[in-house]
Amino acid sequence: MIQLGVNIDHVATVRQARQDDEPDPVRAAHEAELSGADGITVHLREDRRHSQDRDVELLRKLVKVKFNLEMAATKEMVALAIRLKPHTAMLVPEGRKEVTTEGGLDVAGQLPAIKKAVSKLRDAGVFVSAFIDADLRQVEAASKAGFHVCEVHTGPYAHAFAERGGDMLDPTLTVELEEVAQAGGEILARGMRFNAGHALNYHNVYRIAGLPGISELHIGHAIVSRAVYVGLREAVRQMKELMVRAHAPVGP
């Protein structure tokens, strides 16, 4: 069954806006777990703009489902992951001026350095994931680097969905979806897990969740945004329900 990893960074974003102690992302992780989240994701950025070291330390101790740490492939972050041993360490690109992660990790362009970081994490017993664009060249490089998982960047698909009003007969949108599907097929063919994420919401998630062989989606902003209106437990429940329905086999 397809799994949902809930990214709680934007709970921390609200907290940091007031430099206060609430809302607490650790409490948010507990709420997400109670409503069916299969994993909890946080991105500990170099500039600590949302999630903080304290959050990561506590989440690693308290989360009862899969704990996924998004991180840049820096010496500091690799050392932290080796010490904390999250269930998954997902290597992502990082820029201080970006609002959110803008594009996938260029594994092909940094293969020696990325391969070294992956090797250190694997040696420490950490499952390692790469956040990459739907680019077969990057899939090949990720395989060479030794990643266990590739998470395909669904931002281009999500943006096309919004621009075309979700019209799945529109060639621009169908091309973006097919690129994700093709990347997923190549990921699976190379013996890695196929995950996806970025800019997915309650309107566009259905087609991605229904792709063959997909294991897990990581979704944060849309869930935290809906939680403002319906509460976090209900927001997580609704997303998980959509994903499971899309992923269910079609009956006779």
Q: Where are the domains of the chain?
A: 3-247
CA 228, 63, 45, 205 torsion-angle sign: negative
List the one residue out of 4, 36, 59, 55 whose CA is nearest residue 233: 36
Ranges of the chain whose pLDDT falls below 70: 95-102, 249-252
Of the residues 43, 50, 148, 153, only one is catalytic, namely 43
CATH number for the domain whose boundaries are 3-247: 3.20.20.70
For residues 87 and 168, what is the distance between their CA atoms, to the nearest angstrom? 36
Active site annotation includes 98: no
pLDDT at 205: 98
- Residue that is written with structure tokens 């990347």 in the block: 183
**Whole-model pTM over 0.85:** yes
pLDDT at 249: 66
In the DSSP assignment, the letter for residue 30 is H
Active site annotation includes 247: no
Active site annotation includes 70: yes
Of the residues 50, 148, 153, 198, only one is catalytic, namely 198
List the one residue out of 147, 148, 172, 144 whose CA is nearest residue 158: 172
pLDDT at 103: 87
pLDDT in tens, 216-226: 999 999 999 99
CA 60, 44, 179, 186 torsion-angle sign: negative
pLDDT at 150: 98
pLDDT at 94: 87
In the DSSP assignment, the letter for residue 49 is S
3-class DSSP state of 151: strand
With a CB cutoff of 8 Å and minimum separation 6, the contacts of 250 are none
With a CB cutoff of 8 Å and minimum separation 6, the contacts of 133 are 103, 104, 152, 153, 156, 183
